Amino acid sequence: MASLLDKIKEYVNDVAYNVKKVLPLKDDLDKIIESEYEKAFEILDKYIEYIKREYGIDYKIPRLEISEDESSYDAWYLPTRNEICFFKESIEEYIDNELKFLGYKEINDIEYLNNSIGSKILLYPSYINKKNKRESIAESITRLVMFHEFWHSIDFSILDKLEKDPTIKNRYYLLTILNDRDNIELRASAFEVVMYYLANGFHKHKNGYVAAYANIPICRTYIEKIDILEKNKNTKEYVPYGLGFCYGNIVVAKYGSSLKENIYKIIDDIIHLNKEKAIDVIKLYGDNPDKLLHDKNSNSVI
């Protein structure tokens, strides 16, 4: 484990920014988004059925919209229309940033995308096709964003059920969580990370999930700066995303190759996740990273 972590640190320190002009995907991006939408539902179908049974929600698959409009978001979920909308220009910009970060350097056939929280970088494993790096990155990015927005559609279905049914267990607690926008983004970000690893099979191999383990010290440092970030109008709205990404990394690092067999417990945990719990978990494992290895095979949920 230590040697892999050293390689990742060396990778981050040696990143060579590539400024070569690369043509945008244009119509190909529409096809990638549409394909990832179909794949995401195929992957999530059995997990959605589980949530429907356990929480009694009336879930309807959100429709997909692809927009040419400018936006500060890569995508969003509109509950009033039950629609996931992707903004192509934002996704293209996201891809450009990842191309610069890659530096065309590999570690054991896996390259790493980056996701900034505060001024720090979290790593995501990704398989990159050398013949078409831009398309490979587009697929990875779209998959991440798609899982995030799908979770929003699940959360709003749960919220709708809670508002209509006063007999649901832990109703007040869940209503309090889901009526807080920050918790909504935190939960979707955590789910995004977990499902990205699961869908790509990165949880099966040490070379994949070691990135999540390597992100933990960064997340521990991030927690210490939350008060400052929340007071800054330019960074405040991004804190819930950062907390969710860090929490998701903790989950992946803890379960590693057993992520899939524990996914239903993890989903239940995310449904009950809020800011306070996320911070407590990140602090716990950030201060005791070896505890992740010890707890990997435990029956307890984080």
Q: How far is CA 111 from CA 63, 73, 286, 301, in A?
A: 32, 25, 24, 30
Residue 68 lies in a domain: yes
Half-sphere exposure of 234 (CA within 13 A, CB side): 2
122 by DSSP, 3-state: which? strand
Parallel, antiparallel, or unpaired: how do β-strands 83-87 and 75-78 relate? antiparallel
Give me the domain span that covers residue 156: 2-295
Residue 182 is assigned to a structural domain of this protein: yes
With a cut of 50, say whether residue 22 has pLDDT above it.
no
**The predicted structure's pLDDT at residue 239:** 92
Reported as half-sphere exposure (CB side, CA atoms, 13 A), residue 34 has a value of 7
Structural domain tally of the chain? 1
- What distances in angstroms separate CA 276 from CA 148, 223, 272, 281, 283, one per listed residue? 20, 11, 11, 9, 11
Distance, CA of 225 to CA of 212 (rounded, Å): 20
Give pLDDT, residue 106: 44
In a domain, 71, yes or no: yes
Q: What average pLDDT does the segment 13-41 reach?
A: 70
Asked, for residue 197, whether it belongs to a domain, the answer is yes
> Average model confidence (pLDDT) for the chain?
84
Cα–Cα distance measured from residue 151 to residue 138, given in angstroms and rounded to the nearest whole number: 20
pLDDT digits (tens, 9 = 90+) for 66-95: 999 988 899 999 999 999 999 999 999 988
What pLDDT is recorded for position 207? 77
Is residue 302 situated within a structural domain? no
225 occurs within a structural domain: yes
Is the Cβ–Cβ distance between 294 and 253 less than 8 Å?
A: no
| Residue 296: per-residue pLDDT | 57
Q: What is the pTM of this model?
A: 0.86
Q: How confident is the model at residue 26 (pLDDT cuts 50, 70, 90)?
A: low
DSSP alpha helices (H): ranges in the chain? 2-13, 27-55, 88-102, 133-164, 171-178, 181-200, 206-224, 226-231, 239-255, 263-271, 275-287, 290-295
Query: Does 301 map to a domain?
Result: no
pLDDT per residue as tens digits for the range 112-169: 777 766 656 788 888 777 777 888 889 999 999 999 999 999 999 999 999 999 988 8
- pLDDT score for 107: 42
300, part of any domain: no
